């Protein structure tokens, strides 16, 4: 039923590309002076701002009073340039926002189902893997330094001692084997997960995000149902933003998860808070 009206858009490697999160767009909607600064910077620095269907979806879920302003401003920022999947590739396209909105609306029920599944998985993980409860010492340790946590895991799975040694390391081995992830514990320990195509990269971002959910690395409280559901979109943003040079967001948990996952995959995309982006603008004019 959906209609795709993509026009291929070639992005010069000399341009800086910024993928936007909803909080950045909302900041522009609510702060006209900031929006003027962004528009001026975009023109002078020859930068490109990018959206995706998931940024449109975020807007639709907002207060409808601001929806028209949100879309109008998004058009001004991005000139209808977005990152989207086509034929197992992730590419830059131009598409009228109205067309994207129509497609997002068609998928709303499916999206709600995916958000519901995200919540159910979170509830399941909470009871199935109590050693990774948000308040457990294991979870506190891995959230303090996840690289060190994985570096300390034994290379081998020991099924003969699985029940006797009900430890976090052995369980992670078992989980990864049972889920048939396309990377190994050794890959994570080395900090290097390879991918051979756009589709493969997106798939591994999703699998790594699922693993991060299970061990409660930078997750939301089990009581915050709304945020747990919206974390579905966070994963989708990560699956798209890696094609840009920068990802602007004020979501601290998303930044920490994204930086770790992107580092594993060797992705060079940098995360910027809005305050960091402001500094980027100041530095640009200083030169």
DSSP reduced 3-state for 9: coil
Evaluate if residue 164 carries a pLDDT over 50. no
pLDDT value at residue 174: 80
User: For 113-121, what is the mean pLDDT?
Assistant: 95
pLDDT value at residue 163: 47
pLDDT value at residue 255: 97
Evaluate if residue 115 carries a pLDDT over 50. yes
pLDDT band at 167 (very low <50, low <70, confident <90, very high): low
Q: What is the mean pLDDT of the chain?
A: 89
Q: For residue range 62-103, list pLDDT tens digits in order.
A: 766 667 888 889 999 999 999 999 888 999 999 988 889 888
- If one compares 202 and 102, the residue with the highest pLDDT of the two is 202
pLDDT value at residue 161: 52
Cα gap 125→214, rounded to integer Å: 6
Q: Which helix (H) or strand (E) holds 81?
A: strand 81-86
What residue spans of the chain are helical by DSSP H?
A: 22-30, 32-45, 53-60, 67-78, 97-106, 108-128, 137-144, 146-151, 168-178, 185-190, 198-214, 225-241, 252-265, 274-286
Evaluate if residue 220 carries a pLDDT over 60. yes
Evaluate if residue 166 carries a pLDDT over 70. no
Cα gap 281→275, rounded to integer Å: 10
What residues contact 287, with CB distance under 8 A and at least 6 apart?
none
pLDDT band at 159 (very low <50, low <70, confident <90, very high): low
Percent of the chain's residues with pLDDT above 70:
93
**Whether the Cβ atoms of residue 83 and residue 244 lie closer than 8 Å to each other:** yes
Evaluate if residue 287 carries a pLDDT over 80. no
pLDDT band at 58 (very low <50, low <70, confident <90, very high): confident
Q: How far is CA 90 from CA 8, 96, 140, 238, 255, in A?
A: 11, 18, 36, 12, 21
Q: How far is CA 267 from CA 41, 79, 111, in A?
A: 25, 26, 27
**Model pTM?**
0.92
User: For 147-156, what is the mean pLDDT?
Assistant: 80
Evaluate if residue 4 carries a pLDDT over 90. no
User: For 206-234, what is the mean pLDDT?
Assistant: 94
């Amino acid at each position: 039923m959906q209609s795709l009206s993509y026009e291929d858009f070639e992005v010069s490697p000399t341009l800086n590309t910024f993928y936007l999160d909803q909080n950045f767009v909302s900041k522009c909607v609510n702060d006209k002076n900031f929006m003027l600064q962004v528009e001026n910077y975009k023109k002078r620095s020859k930068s490109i701002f990018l959206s995706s269907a998931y940024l449109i979806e975020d807007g639709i879920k907002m207060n409808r009073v601001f929806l028209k302003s949100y879309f109008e401003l998004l058009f001004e920022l991005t000139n209808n340039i977005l990152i989207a999947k086509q034929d197992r590739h992730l590419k830059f396209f131009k598409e009228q926002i109205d067309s994207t909105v129509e497609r997002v609306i068609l998928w709303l029920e499916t999206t709600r189902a995916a958000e519901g599944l995200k919540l159910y998985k979170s509830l399941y993980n909470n009871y199935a893997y109590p050693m990774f409860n948000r308040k457990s010492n294991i979870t506190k340790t891995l959230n303090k330094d996840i690289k060190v946590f994985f570096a300390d895991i034994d290379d081998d799975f020991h099924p003969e001692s699985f029940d006797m040694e009900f430890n976090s390391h052995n369980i992670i081995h078992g989980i990864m084997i049972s889920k048939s992830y396309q990377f190994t514990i050794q890959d994570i320990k080395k900090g290097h997960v390879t991918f051979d195509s756009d589709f493969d990269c997106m798939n591994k971002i999703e699998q790594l995000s699922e693993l991060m959910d299970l061990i409660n690395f930078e997750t939301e409280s089990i009581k915050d149902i709304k945020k747990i559901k919206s974390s579905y979109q966070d994963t989708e943003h990560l699956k798209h933003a890696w094609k840009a040079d920068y990802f602007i967001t004020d979501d601290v948990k998303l930044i920490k998860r994204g930086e770790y996952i992107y580092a594993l995959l060797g992705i060079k995309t940098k995360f910027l808070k809005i305050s960091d982006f402001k500094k980027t603008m100041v530095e640009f004019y200083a030169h």
